[in-house]
Amino acid sequence: MKIQKHILAVLGLSALLGACGGSGGTVEVDMSRSTSYGAIVGNNDTAGTGTYSWKGVPFAKPPVGALRWKAPVEPDSWSGQLATKAFGNACLQNGRIYGPGANNRYDSSIASTLNTPVGSEDCLTLNIWRPAGDSANLPVIVFVYGGSNISGYSADPVYDGAALARVANAVVVTTNYRVGVLGFMNLPQIKTGSNAAEDSGNFALLDIVQALKFVKKNAAAFGGNADNVTLMGQSAGAINTWALLASPLAAGLFHKAVPISGGISLASNLPPGMLPTLNPASTYLAQGNALLAKLLIADGKASDTASASAYIATQTSPQIADYLRAKPGSTILTTLLVNGLTGSGPIPDGVVLPTNPIAAMAAGSYNKVPVLAGNTADEGKLFAPFLTLLGGKNGLKITDADRFNLMANFNPDLPTTLTSADILDASYLPVTTPVTGFNAKTALLGSVFTTPSRDNVLNTLITQQPGSVWHYQFNWAQEPAPWNEVYGAAHAFDLPFLFGNFGPSVFSNAVNSTANKPGRLALSAAMMASLGAFARTGNPNTTTLGVTWQPWPKKLVLDASLTQASISVP
């Protein structure tokens, strides 16, 4: 749909505006749009980012009260214009350095809210950016955040869609979805038998499907092409993207996929000793049962697991469901945390997600679309605490609060006395020590975690769609010392490049120096242009890459010196 412009240009107005500190030829744009639920009005940031945006747009009713652990329900229609100029609430989660603080944004309160509930259950909103102007039929990129499926929020400043929308010439959408057990819950007592998708427990996946349905209905109102939607996710968002690639419920809702640093492999799909990216439904059934028992014990209705089971046997399923829905969300999250029950992820139930997604893909039973996958060269460095899984110590010697504050207060342009020894456990130093050093150990972690799932799913896909599966490896590691050793090309460090956002965020001070800015921006521009090409045509090749990107099993290596991009094909 053409965007209506109202030109405020009358005789002498330009001079008047200039005298008032305005600019000649100022254009006032009607920022209202009609959606399937009602009119919304957004922000005109033509002067700043060259984009229009609408933030905090509701795509479902708040999943609270009786709607907790229910499939998302379309919002009621509204009259008048709904102001959509600010991000909606983050979904309820326990604070982590990768999530929001007390104010639904990146700020210093993140350090003081770690491991405490933040956000709200009233959170099912999405955000939309498009280039300023009236161009139509633009590709649409829908982004799903990461956070181990227990945290994350679309208001993260890294995910601001303005730069990507402008450079890729696309409509960019970021969406919230429920996380933790509020997003993935496998418990018989909350199932009614009347809705198989809802009974799957995959509420987060259903949220993303609902957001995609909103996009399908409303893309044209924002200049987007509903028949050219790219679903993009990173980390847990990539796992969820892979899940929807395998889900019959998402058929026809997206036409390309960009899963970054994620997989969808069960342990049974991988060689022995590898760490899966998908757990069986039984894992989450055990979690649900354990959570219920712990809540009953805390309430004095039981003294131990056995008596909790006996109590549960005296209750009907609706009674248990009502009991759980009456619990404050903060109580549920705290109970999970103190009892080590916080893991979360898609539930392969056989309805929303096949019980074995890799097998379904191998049989051609999935949503066959072009795929652009990515990984970083040092994925394992962000998972330093998980080095315990390899029999060693936690790779970090400081708390997350200390690490957050170190990064927030770090000046990347000044000399520093900070060293890797201030951050990393001594057993992994020097980082370059063969076999036992931090580089070797985190590489080993990546080789048993991210790499096997990557190869498993990509090698499966090319049996069904050779020539339309692409992969990049992000190698950039030009951070100022000591962060270049601590992080390097760590998990998630490609995201600022894909979104073109290097401003205030959790890692920005540790990563973005004046010295590395020219090369960083050049690489980012090439990556955004390539993503735009893929969203438009299903092929990521552009002249900005300077090389020809061949489909998997080939890969493209993305890197940069301090001053220029360095993109290659090994």
Q: Which of 250, 241, 274 is nearest to 371 (CA)?
A: 241
**pTM of the shown model:** 0.95
* Region 135-149 average pLDDT: 98
Q: Is the pLDDT of residue 359 over 70?
A: yes
Residue 26's pLDDT is 42
Q: Is the pLDDT of residue 10 over 90?
A: no
Ramachandran area for residue 341 (φ above 0: left; ψ -120 to 50: alpha; else beta): alpha
Residue 253's pLDDT is 98
* Region 387-405 average pLDDT: 97
Q: Is the pLDDT of residue 93 over 50?
A: yes
* Per-residue tokens: 507: 């890692």
166 to each of 169, 224, 443, 499, how far by Cα in Å? 5, 13, 36, 10
Q: Is the pLDDT of residue 5 over 70?
A: no
Q: Is the pLDDT of residue 131 over 70?
A: yes
Over 184-224, what HEC string results? ECCCHHHCCCCCHHHHCCEHHHHHHHHHHHHHHHHHHHHCE
* Region 95-102 average pLDDT: 96
Residue 2's pLDDT is 35
* Region 342-351 average pLDDT: 97
Q: Is the pLDDT of residue 245 over 80?
A: yes
CATH number for 54-75+83-92+119-268+342-470+478-510+517-562 (one of 3.40.50.1820, 3.40.50.10320, 3.40.50.170, 2.60.40.10): it is 3.40.50.1820
DSSP secondary structure, 272-289, as one string: TTPPPS---HHHHHHHHH
Cα-flanking dihedrals φ and ψ of residue 109, to 5°?
-70, -15
Q: Is the pLDDT of residue 204 over 70?
A: yes
**What is the percentage of the chain residues whose pLDDT exceeds 70?**
95
Average pLDDT of the chain to the nearest whole number: 95
Q: Where in the chain is the domain with CATH 3.40.50.1820?
A: 54-75+83-92+119-268+342-470+478-510+517-562
Residue 27's pLDDT is 61
Torsion angle (degrees, nearest 10) of CA 91, 92, 94, 96: 20
Question: Which residues make Cβ contacts (< 8 Å) with residue 409, sequence separation at least 6?
Answer: 509
Q: Which residues of 113-132 are buried (b: 16+ CB within 10 A; e: fewer)?
A: bbeebbbbbebbbbbbbbbb
Other residues' Cβ atoms within 10 Å of the Cβ of residue 271: 9
Element containing residue 439 per DSSP (H, E): helix 438-448
Q: Which residues are catalytic?
A: 235
Please, which pLDDT band fits residue 28 given cuts at 50, 70 and 90?
A: confident
Question: Which residues make Cβ contacts (< 8 Å) with residue 438, sequence separation at least 6?
Answer: 381, 384, 395, 420, 424, 428, 429, 431, 485
Q: Is the pLDDT of residue 89 over 90?
A: yes
Q: Is the pLDDT of residue 451 over 90?
A: yes
* Region 135-154 average pLDDT: 98
pLDDT tens track for 222-238: 999 999 999 999 999 99
Element containing residue 530 per DSSP (H, E): helix 517-537
Question: Which residues make Cβ contacts (< 8 Å) with residue 194, sequence separation at least 6?
Answer: none
Residue 4's pLDDT is 35
Q: Is the pLDDT of residue 277 over 50?
A: yes
Residue 16's pLDDT is 26
Distance CA 545, CA 529 (A): 9
